[in-house]
A = this chain, B = another copy of it.
Amino acid sequence: MELRQNNTHEYVQPPQHLKKELCDLDYLQDPPRILSNYLVHAPKPFNAEPHLPLLINSGEITPTDVFFKRNHGPIPDIHLEDHRVYIGIQQATQDCRGHPSRVEWKALDMKDIMTKWPKATITASLQCAGNRREGLAQVKEVKGVIWKAGTISNAVWSGPRLCDILKSVAGVPDDLHHEMIRNFHVSFEADDHVKEDACYGSSIPLRKAMDPLGDVILAYEMNGRPLTRDHGYPLRVIVPGYIGARSVKFLQKIIVQPQESTSFFQKLDYKILPPWVDATNVDSAWDLSPSLGEMNVQCVICTPMEREIIPCSKAITVKGYAIAGGGRAIYRVELSTDGGKTWEAVDKLEQTPDKVSGMYWAWALWEKKVPKFNTSSQLVARAYDSSGNMQPEFPIWNYRGVMNNSWFRVSNITQLPQSNM
């Protein structure tokens, strides 16, 4: 690592990640996990979602060891005292000779991150864009981990606001009408190794990072404790209201630049490809589809589950979550016990806005008591958000299997005769 000094700033050159061969990705250092909490889809990289009843019964704030785990490679073994976050600014895509413009870097250590700016605390749900991919896989073959509906969790995150750091370290203007805010992006890179690229990377519009109502933070705490390694230790981005893929873990580089991240995970993944794109023609389709940012409106029944066996005599309590992207609120959740023919309001719907910005970054939890229930019909749940957005009745297929938010259906519930209980 080359370091040089001038009169006013410390300019640095950050380390470069080189893409590893797949066989060189070493999972031996992965942390221990409470496997019984999860439906494990893949051990290497470790991808697991909590069982839905555990998720919903854990309450508004998901305990860290219940929170879903989404990885693209081994968990890096980073030491707090050695870790540096490199902040770069690239003023233009190309210099006057047509070469890629130089990035000017500065470095922060974790002590800087933890002490130089006010600590903000944001309660925000993260949801993988592939949550409920299973529903699209049932329509037609998709690419990706076949997630059920548990790749969402809600936690309390603490750390400095990214806007404060970008203002003071990178000199990004404060004025939301500045043309840089309108046109630039903030790119994030992880200090890790993945199979798809040199490291995990992603970007968000600079406007989202600088907006006081955007609530983007660099979190070093989750649920009041230092981040665990599975959740990005020692530092991760939290981009509330966006798909989880933008909340980059193991954060090592932040670059303010005129274009989106060129990472695999920004350009060749996490997009709603059109329905005429599949494995045969996907290569030519990526550039035509915009990258995902904000989440869409979502609603899931967590309990009872498909094919669950329940006592005959007892009323059942249907419980679930709902969420909308971009800080929008959930305005209503409706439940049908007859496959979607008729609807009723849920009994309880609770969602807490951010105590400073007032934005709805955390999920809404809901429940409804159903005293009598005909098991031959289907439970269906749907939500409306504060923009009047509704959900499609049936899955709208896309090859990457992302953003499935069709009405959530639970069927094949069995009620045991009373004598068996």
Which A residues are closer than 8 A to B by beta carbons? 175-177, 181-183, 207, 211-213, 272, 274-276, 288-290, 292-297, 325-326, 328-329, 331-332, 334, 342-345, 353, 356-358, 384, 386-394, 396, 402-403, 405
Contact = CB atoms under 8 A, between A and B. Distances in A.
**Copies, count:** 2
Given A177-B356, A358-B207, A384-B272, A290 B331 contact: yes
B356 A290 contact: no
B387 A295 contact: yes
Given A275-B342, A296-B388, A387-B389, 8 more contacts: A175-B212, A182-B353, A182-B357, A272-B331, A272-B332, A274-B343, A296-B389, A393-B393
B295 A332 contact: no
A90 to B, nearest CB: 19
A248 to B, nearest CB: 20
Given A274-B345, A325-B388, A356 B182 contact: yes
A293 B387 contact: yes
Nearest to A210: B213
B386 A275 contact: no
Nearest to A356: B177
Given A275-B334, A276-B342, A296 B356 contact: no
A405 to B, nearest CB: 7
B177 A272 contact: no
A260 to B, nearest CB: 13
Contacts of A276: 342-345
